[in-house]
A and B are shown apart, each in its own frame.
Chain A
Amino acid sequence: MGHERVSVQSGDFDVSTELAALRRDDGGVGAVVSFVGTVRDLGHGDTVTAMELEHYPGMTEKSIDAMIDEAFRRFELRAARVIHRVGVLQPLDQIVLVAVTSAHRGQAFQACEFLMDYLKTQAPFWKKEHSAGGAHWVDARVADDQALARWGLGTQGNANS
């Protein structure tokens, strides 16, 4: 498996290129599942003009790498890929890609969802929304912590209650 597993980058990504690379030369793959997160243009009832993403260089890559290891332990995966953008993004931009391959769809769907739930609550990224009214940091959502709890994992109490 020659492909890179984790990328934290300012530039955009091409989903087709990534999926092709992920299953290249692997005849054992019967299912490819991917999730793409994008920037909404509405936050707190105000039109979002830009979304800024800060991260913790070093810890970000390590924590995503560890979560992919955990996904390989839990599910029958053949390959996994996570790309997360940082810096200033615009509404409609792609933010994140999680893609996995497996022999069958069930394991692939589950692993993709597991990775997204983990990423939302454990990887050190922070979003700041810019709008005509000013800029504010996005609050963590309790629903994201609850989503992670489904997998029997603690959340370090991530969300603001």
Chain B
Amino acid sequence: MTESMIVRVRYFASVREALGAGDSLSLARDATVGAVRDALIALSPGHAQALGRGRAVRMALNQALCDESATVPDGSELAFFPPVTGG
């Protein structure tokens, strides 16, 4: 049996408005960011809409920008948000 891990997911800006502040997921160890995104998309039609691959969604793993190929360590914080618009 594969070991599992907990990933804490946070949302910001328009993604937060659509999905709330965040989710907590239990996943197989060594999942990639892309695999976490797939698992989130499967949670609800709202998730599929907000996090679908056609959307401009950026990701940060433990508070550093990342892409979908990054491996997610156990206990990580993973964030999804639209392109940034500060300054």
Interface residues of A (CB under 8 A from B): 37, 53-56, 58-59, 62-63, 84, 95-96, 116, 119-128, 137-140, 144, 156-160
Contact = CB atoms under 8 A, between A and B. Distances in A.
Contact of B86 (A84, A137, A157): A84
Most chain A beta-carbon neighbours within 10 Å: one of B12, B56, B85, B86 = B86
B83 A96 contact: no
B8 interface: no
Given A56-B60, A126-B81, A160-B56, A120 B86 contact: yes
B87 A126 contact: no
Which of B13, B16, B87 has the most C-beta atoms of chain A within 10 angstroms of its own C-beta? B87
How many of chain B's residues touch chain A, expressed as a range? Answer: 20 to 34
Contacts of A116: 87
Contact of A62 (B63, B79, B81, B84): B63
A56 B81 contact: yes
Given A95-B87, A124-B12, A126-B82, 11 more contacts: A53-B86, A54-B12, A58-B63, A62-B63, A84-B86, A84-B87, A120-B87, A122-B84, A139-B85, A140-B82, A159-B83
A156 B65 contact: yes
B87 A140 contact: no
